[in-house]
């Protein structure tokens, strides 16, 4: 039986993207995405916010670095990756990251509600595809 590792996340970027290159020259962009969850306790609705680190590779990383400012809505599909390391004090650490296979960048609007950037769908190494 094959294992399944699929993640779909929709939220907003909470900081500016960080673009870097691996020693071999492959572009990598790191994003942080916040998602909201609402639930009811008694008569009141509560809001829970979760933050997720997203890693984007290749041409998609360059597109993400240029088009994902803080506040922009994104939908990411990809897989979970767990990094493990030992700290300088010998303690063990781990971190879960979402590695994007596909991203949809939601339209950006100015304060008067006019669309200033179209929605983009970026899929793996494919060219950017504007969605209208």
What is the predicted pLDDT for the residue at 120? 67
Structure tokens at 61: 């990383």
**How many structural domains is the chain composed of?**
1
What is the predicted pLDDT for the residue at 132? 29
First and final CA of the chain: distance in angstroms?
40
C-beta neighbour count of 78 within 10 angstroms: 21
CATH of the domain at 95: 2.40.50.140
What is the predicted pLDDT for the residue at 1? 73
In a domain, 109, yes or no: no
In a domain, 107, yes or no: no
Dist CA 71 CA 21 (whole Å): 24
Looking at the DSSP assignment, which residues form a beta bridge with residue 26? none
In a domain, 113, yes or no: no
Instruction: Report the phi/psi class of residue 60: left, alpha or beta, with left for phi > 0 and alpha for psi in -120 to 50.
Output: alpha
In a domain, 45, yes or no: yes
Q: Where are the alpha helices (DSSP H) in 32-132?
A: 59-67
What is the predicted pLDDT for the residue at 86? 95
Structure letter (DSSP) for residue 107: P
Domain that holds residue 78: 7-100
In a domain, 112, yes or no: no
In a domain, 121, yes or no: no
What is the predicted pLDDT for the residue at 119? 65
Nearest to 101, CA basis, from 82, 128, 79: 79
Per-residue pLDDT of the chain (132 residues; tens, 9 = 90+): 778 999 999 999 999 999 999 999 999 999 999 999 999 999 999 999 999 999 999 999 999 999 999 999 999 999 999 999 999 999 999 999 999 999 998 887 767 767 666 666 676 654 444 432
């Amino acid at each position: 039986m094959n294992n399944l590792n699929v993640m779909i996340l929709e939220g907003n970027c909470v900081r500016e993207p960080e673009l870097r290159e691996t020693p071999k020259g492959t572009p990598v962009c790191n994003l942080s995405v916040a998602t909201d969850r609402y639930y009811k306790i008694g008569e009141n609705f509560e809001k829970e916010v979760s933050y997720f680190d997203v890693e984007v590779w290749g041409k998609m990383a360059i597109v993400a670095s240029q088009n994902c400012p803080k506040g922009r809505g994104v939908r990411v599909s990809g897989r979970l990756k767990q990094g493990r390391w030992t700290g300088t004090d010998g303690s063990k650490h781990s971190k879960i990251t979402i590695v994007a296979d596909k991203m949809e960048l939601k339209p950006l609007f100015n304060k008067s509600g006019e669309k200033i950037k179209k929605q983009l769908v970026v899929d793996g190494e494919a060219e950017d595809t504007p969605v209208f």
